[in-house]
Amino acid sequence: MNKSVITIAMPKGRIFGDACRLLRNAGFQLPETFETTRKLILDLDSEPFRFILAKPVDVPTYVEYGAADLGIAGKDVLLESGRDVYEMVDLGISKCHMAVAGLPQHQSRNPFLKIATKYPNIASDFYRRRGEQVDLIALNGSIELAPIVGLADAIVDIVSTGQTLKENGLVEFDRLLDISSRLIVNPVSYRLKKTLIDQIVEKMIKATEGTKVGMD
């Protein structure tokens, strides 16, 4: 039986290590095996907290539906999903940015630019604001491949070190938004468990001090 009072959805993948470090800094007593286990549900012995380990892109879904009270998700995933959750804390981890990129010599003869992306909602919003009509091509990864093989004129994707762009001969044309991971909360959970959630939020804010990216 789940005696846990608070369920937190954690993103597996590249955010996970940073998120665990931050939780430990915030005082959560995560066991050493937390980062290596293949279990997807982990209850703490010391406190009434349950962690569920989800694919990063699915974290806002678990939180919106209330399967988790809290979650950690990238700003990119939050914007793209449009899920109805409260964004409580900029955790300042897994920083990167979203950019338009392509081949340096790119000149399209297409009436509409073809844009490959894992983020069709963010990309379409960006081009709508610019008053440009584009054809979006949804891909699931290796986005940088698309302009090189002629599938698309440009990409909208995440850039961190810039290594992937550089090694594939692409350049950045526009910077769309800065990204970091956020602590999100289910609105109903927040109403029902406000005191406990506020305590967690406070601890997380303290733990993240000095790691903000300075944007929203």
Helices vs. strands in the chain: H and E counts, helices first: 8, 11
Nearest distance from residue 50's CB to ligand PRP, in Å? 27
| 158 contacts ligand PRP (rule: CB under 6 A) | yes
Please state, in angstroms and rounded to a whole number, the distance separating the CA atoms of residues 196 and 104: 52
- In terms of Cβ atoms closer than 10 Å to its own Cβ (0-12, 13-18, 19+), residue 129 is exposed
- Applying the rule CB under 6 A, the residues between 136 and 175 that interact with ligand ATP are 158, 160
Contact between 6 and ligand PRP by CB under 6 A: the answer reads no
Nearer to ligand ATP, 53 or 113 (CB): 53
Closer residue to ligand PRP in complex, CB, 88/143: 143
Q: Which stretch binds ligand PRP (CB under 6 A): 4-12, 18-26, 126-134, 158-166?
A: 158-166
120 binding ligand PRP? (CB under 6 A): no
Q: CB-wise, 76 or 193, nearer to ligand ATP?
A: 76
156: tokens are 């909208």
Number of residues that bind ligand ATP (CB under 6 A): 15
The reply to whether 77 sits near ligand ATP by the rule CB under 6 A is yes
128: number of Cβ within 10 Å? 11
- Return the closest-CA partner of residue 75 out of 54, 89, 55, 62: 89
Helix axes 194-208, 14-25, angle to 10 degrees: 100
**Interface contacts to ligand ATP, rule CB under 6 A:** 11, 13-15, 55-57, 74, 76-77, 94, 96, 158, 160, 179
